[in-house]
Structure 1
């Protein structure tokens, strides 16, 4: 009987790329946006009794098989383009959800190619993302897309002293 490791590495890489999709987290975005839209009574305002919305994160099974397969699969996973969008807000003016509620910091720090799509200027999404990348940056390429139609307030992106790093 032939084992998975008996397959040529080129075939295993194709299988890893098929099994691993770092952009699966976007379905979690859609779930939360649908829950907010369906179950929010905007007339009564936010309630502390409302359950905290979260998305269950998981580790793909292929990453749990053995060290060699994990190493090969992570190599592939970190090279798949990761498309990042601003996270959903939880309710009206309440805080925007953090990207790490959807994607682990370790994956964010190890990706090689990111695509940042900003429909509006989400500084509460971008600044924590930059902090995460600043810890251990393996990013080789970052494409940023933002529509020109939305004006940004002049002081929206003011640099905060605590975010300036000295080296």
Structure 2
């Protein structure tokens, strides 16, 4: 019996179009929202404790990681990043913590570099928290590759009202740099996203 051997095919031997499809399936910048659920579950468990004041608990954090496909070699990394930066990034308000009740910074979940390299951002606001939006706009004002920013906000005046005036003013100023489109919606955006990532 003759045993046939076939040459090993490397990933880079695949046609470029196929590799681009694989990158699109392998990379999801919106997975960071799963970290929100981990933080909120941790905070729920911590508030059940009866020992000591909350300020003595360690500050919660989420481990960030680099997708394996970005660590293979230079060519694959360059091709994959080209795809990653063009996937629309949905940005939801970050969780608050018991640590001085401060809202967590978006860079605790997504790297500043990725935020500055994305081409299409979608800002989904359940409330107009300036503590979430303003640091994000500061990052983009420093450097960005945005081609568009779409902002979804609840119908009616988001609470707190004074935050919305500040946020709206900054977004309108930012629209002189990047096209910003506003939409009003009914449903709670962040809760649905966190639930779907659970």
2:47 is the counterpart of 1:40: yes
In structure 1, the partner of 2:25 is 18
Question: RMSD of aligned C-alpha atoms?
Answer: 2.5
Structure with higher Rg: it is 2
Q: Would you say the 8 A contact 1:62–1:69 is kept in 2?
A: yes
In structure 2, the partner of 1:53 is 60
Per-residue deviation, 1:13: 0.4
Aligned length: 162
Structure 2 Cα separation of the partners of residues 69 and 33 of structure 1:
35
Structure 2 Cα separation of the partners of residues 26 and 39 of structure 1:
20
Q: Would you say the 8 A contact 2:28–2:84 is kept in 1?
A: yes
Which ranges of structure 2 fall in alignment gaps of 5 or more residues? 1-7, 168-172, 174-198
Structure 1 Cα separation of the partners of residues 140 and 105 of structure 2:
14
Distance of aligned partners of 1:155 and 1:44 in 2 relative to their CA distance in 1, 3 Å threshold: farther
TM-score, structure 1 as length reference: 0.87
- For residue 70 of structure 1, the aligned residue among 64, 77, 102 is 77
Distance of aligned partners of 1:155 and 1:42 in 2 relative to their CA distance in 1, 3 Å threshold: farther
- For residue 105 of structure 1, the aligned residue among 103, 108, 112 is 112
- For residue 27 of structure 1, the aligned residue among 20, 34, 53 is 34
Greater shift, 75-84 or 149-158, is seen at 149-158
Greater shift, 84-93 or 107-116, is seen at 84-93
Q: Would you say the 8 A contact 1:83–1:116 is kept in 2?
A: yes
TM-score, structure 2 as length reference: 0.74
